Amino acid sequence: MIRVERRFVPVPAGEIHCAIAGSGRPVLLLHQTPRSCDEYRDVLPLLGERFRAIAMDTLGFGDSSKPPVEEDSIEHWAEVAASLLDALGIERAAVVGHHTGAVIAAHSGRAIVDEVEPRPDGSHLTELWRLRQPFYPDGNIDLLERFVVDALQAGPRAAEGHRTVARYEMETRLPLVRCPVLLVAATEDPHAYGFVGALHAGLPTSRIAEIPGGMVPLPDQLPHEFAAVVVEFLSTI
């Protein structure tokens, strides 16, 4: 079994919490809002069989430092991700991003979700669960519980992270991407699947790998399928 090591790495913006598995070619994993590196909990040891897989908590999320929300931007989050690689002595890495993480990876969303008003009776937690439930597999309570834990830890960033993505002008960034790109298409993800064709057209170096039945929590819903398409892609570049 591949061992997963957790670290707190000092960077100019604060401390970044990350989980690392395996050795060899580095692969940086960036999570969706408002999750944490826990999203890749089951993917890490699978990728660690072939690579040095590094899943980080984006600045402000999970156990990473939490600066003022006003400082959040895709550009800043990407800069911090690069500074983590620098701190780990990594000059080049493949980057895997999911939802917000993919935007950070491309320096590249729109809808604001996960926004609920805190209430003294705790009913906002039920509302948060209800808002996410249609996009998660039926009966998989564990995935929703993990989401709620990360959302509570993110606090106001649970919704603000989506606004940060919405403010980012990805159209100006995509033409600058020259490296090989894999678009992992979860067929039952209503927030992302419909954009795969346009992204593919805007990224001449991209290819598409569909994962049937994949939903919003794809990496922790179908970790083996997710890891398999990443490994297959990286083995060709």
The model's pLDDT over 29-73, given as tens digits with 9 standing for 90+, comes to: 999 999 999 999 999 999 999 999 999 999 999 999 999 999 999
Chain segment 63-83, per-residue pLDDT in tens: 999 999 999 999 999 999 999
**Structural domains of the chain, ranges and CATH numbers in brackets:** 4-234 (3.40.50.1820)
pLDDT of residue 108: 35
Question: What mean pLDDT value characterizes the chain?
Answer: 92
φ/ψ (deg, to 5) at 230: -65, -45
* Mean pLDDT of all residues in 94-109: 84
> CA-CA distance, 199 to 159, in Å (whole number)?
24
Distances, alpha carbon 28 to alpha carbons 34, 91, 115, 166, in Å: 18, 12, 28, 23
User: Quick one: tokens of 12?
Assistant: 């100019």
> CA-CA distance, 189 to 184, in Å (whole number)?
11
pLDDT of residue 146: 94
Highest-pLDDT range among 106-110, 119-123, 165-169 = 119-123
* Mean pLDDT of all residues in 81-93: 95
DSSP helix/strand/coil, 186:
strand
Distance, first Cα to last Cα, the chain = 26
> CA-CA distance, 174 to 113, in Å (whole number)?
24
* Mean pLDDT of all residues in 156-164: 86
**Strand 26-30 vs strand 94-97: parallel, antiparallel, or unpaired?**
parallel
109 pLDDT more than 60 = no
3-state SS, one letter per residue, for 122-134: CHHHHHHHHHHHH
Q: Is the pTM of this model over 0.85?
A: yes
